[in-house]
Structure 1
Amino acid sequence: MEMLTPLDQLRPNHLPDPVGFWPPAIGWWVLTIIVVALITFLTLHAVRRWRKKRYRTVALQETQKALADYQEHQTPVRFAQDCNVILKKVALRAFPQKEVASLSGDHWCQFLAETGGTPEFLNHSAFNNDRYNPNSSLSAEDIFTLTRRWIKKHHA
């Protein structure tokens, strides 16, 4: 007869059940909430920023269309008027209506120069009342360049 050792008398090891994927631990819930909140915040911020800047994109497209129209009709006075209309629309969108709506002539040029950081508006006849003078010499390229620069760089 063989002798049993005390170790032989022990029952075999009982392993615990494997850990499942569900439900996750509290740390994973907290991490998920933080990630979802962060993604939501960044998405809302990006959408607000896009909406806030969208008017600039539209205005730049309108300026490009006005240039295409100018290339057909070749009338600098009409092109200057179209660009002024675009600038006024953008200014009314970006600044308080009380401040912008009544501006014209030299006051309008002063406003454009100050808000866009473009002093060239002060010396440019296309943006004050001289554009109605049939003898004024207007450069469509200068008008186009200044209009685009102000739309891109104005700060409200």
Structure 2
Amino acid sequence: METDSIVSMLEPLREPGAVHWWPLAPGWWVLAIMMAALVGYGIHRLWLFHLRAAPVRAARKALISIEAASFSDAERAAELGLLQRRLAIGVRGRKACAGLTGRPWAEFLNSLTKSKAPYFDGRLAELAYWPTVASQDCTDALEATRRWLKDLERPG
């Protein structure tokens, strides 16, 4: 037999079918599950950070409203003291700071920031409880609170 006749008896070549992308190979499933877990963990951490930073955000908004309100100096100082107390309790808990007054209270407020700069001294920390407050003392307390809130350590 001739080679041409043998070749003519062969079936024509068939192209293989297209390789489908689905179902995925097991390695892709493992990678997809790992990526989903990583994204879920990241979202969870962001949510926790958002929750922990809520008292600081609320205090910054309250400071803006205290600045805008038409309070007397004694009322403004009382509001600033209340804002500081609420924020300290919100960040560190009632047991850590509820009983502090005077110099220990000022040191506690100063310890909440990353930069260990002294924002408050004993006088500014007790200003909220004075019956009469000088305008300059109130301005000093407002500025110290503004700087303190700006530098407040991020929770988390």
TM-score by structure 1 length? 0.81
Shift, 1:36, TM fit? 1.0
Distance 1:47 1:106, change over 3 A: same
Deviation at 1:115, TM superposition (A): 3.1
Could you tell me which residue of structure 1 aligns to residue 18 of structure 2?
18
What are the equivalent positions in structure 2 for 1:93-108 lying under 5 Å apart?
93-108=90-105
Pair 1:85 & 2:68 matched: no
Alignment deviations for residues 48-105 of structure 1 (CA, whole Å, 9 cap, x no partner): 1111111100110011111111xx23x2221111011011011111124222101122
User: Per-residue deviation at 1:122?
Assistant: 1.5
- Aligned mate of 2:110, from 100, 104, 113: 113
**Which runs of 5 or more structure 1 residues have no equivalent in the other structure?**
none
Post-superposition CA distance 1:97-134 (Å, at most 9, x none): 222101122322222233332313116x3322585152
**Measured at CA, do residues 138 and 104 of structure 1 come closer, stay the same or move farther in structure 2, by a change above 3 Å?**
farther
Q: Percent identity?
A: 24
Kindly indicate whether the alpha-carbon contact (under 8 Å) linking 1:118 and 1:150 is maintained by their aligned counterparts in 2: no
* Structure 2 residue ranges without an equivalent (≥5): none
For residues 13 and 112 of structure 1, the distance between their equivalents in structure 2, rounded to whole angstroms, comes to 83
- 1:115–1:144 Cα change, 3 Å: same
Is contact 1:56-1:152 (8 Å) kept? no
Deviation digits for residues 10-47 of structure 1, max 9, x if unmatched?
Answer: 11012222222321222221221122111111111111
Measured on the aligned residues, the alpha-carbon RMSD in Å equals 2.5
CA contact (8 A) 1:80 1:126 kept: no
How many residues were matched structurally?
Answer: 151
